């Protein structure tokens, strides 16, 4: 039996989303001040990078069908 495109999307979306969430949980372990030393600037840089990547990926999903050629 062949997997439909929708089924393949759901399977991979679940797997990849769970992988991202796990990596974010691991990133959160760095907040333990008894094991790590960091500045507010360090934290801003980390979250800026994560948020920029998230925005870029959201755009891939939302702008794909809305692009229109214009001169």
pLDDT tens digits for range 23-40: 999 999 999 999 999 999
The Cα–Cα gap between 52 and 44 comes to 12
pTM given for the model: 0.79
What integer is the mean pLDDT of 50-58?
Answer: 96
Given pLDDT bands bounded at 50, 70 and 90, which one contains residue 66?
low
CA–CA–CA angle 54, 15, 26 (5° rounding): 60
- Residue 69, pLDDT score: 72
The pLDDT of residue 19 is above 80:
yes
């Amino acid at each position: 039996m062949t997997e439909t495109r929708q089924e393949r999307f759901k399977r991979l979306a679940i797997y990849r989303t769970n992988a991202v969430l796990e990596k974010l949980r691991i990133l959160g372990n760095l907040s333990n001040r008894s094991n790590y030393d960091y500045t507010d600037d360090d934290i801003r840089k980390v979250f800026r990078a994560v948020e920029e990547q998230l925005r870029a990926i959201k755009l891939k999903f939302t702008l794909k069908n809305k692009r229109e050629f214009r001169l």
